[in-house]
Amino acid sequence: MENSLIKTLGIEILEVSDSGVIATMPVDQRTRQPFGILHGGASVALAETAASIGAYHFIDKDNEICVGLEINANHIKAKSDGVVTAKATLFHRGRSTMVWDIKIVDEEEELVCISRCTMSVLKKRS
């Protein structure tokens, strides 16, 4: 994950399983907006990262790739420092799409952001 947005934002993947993905991201100078709170775009990047890694876990890696198709997010609570944790769970697994529910919480498990991400599963090109 070198030379990627994941590295730039300090995202760490803690768990990947059939149950979902858990990932963390610091709230610091890399992820704050000018008013000193967590940037909504950083939350969305964390959410899509968790969904993407989750989708990758389920695909046929020899013959398929997965890419984000749609994402939405509701920002519930402001956060100015510390760490946020994304917990991504699979809603729907089809042949060509997966829908993921991602809840981003703070250290006290209070909801910071809720997101839904649709991943597209594509055949690898030869």
Hunting for tokens 């993905």 — which residue is that? 21
Please say if the pLDDT value at position 69 is more than 80.
yes
Please say if the pLDDT value at position 126 is more than 90.
no
108 in catalytic set? no
Instruction: Identify the three-state secondary structure at position 48.
Output: helix
Is residue 43 within 8 A of residue 65, CB to CB? The reply is no
Domains detected in the chain: 5-123 (3.10.129.10)
Q: In this predicted structure, what is the pLDDT of residue 74?
A: 98
Q: In this predicted structure, what is the pLDDT of residue 1?
A: 74
What are 91-114's pLDDT values in tens digits? 999 999 999 999 999 999 999 999
Q: Which of 48, 64, 109, 110 is catalytic?
A: 48
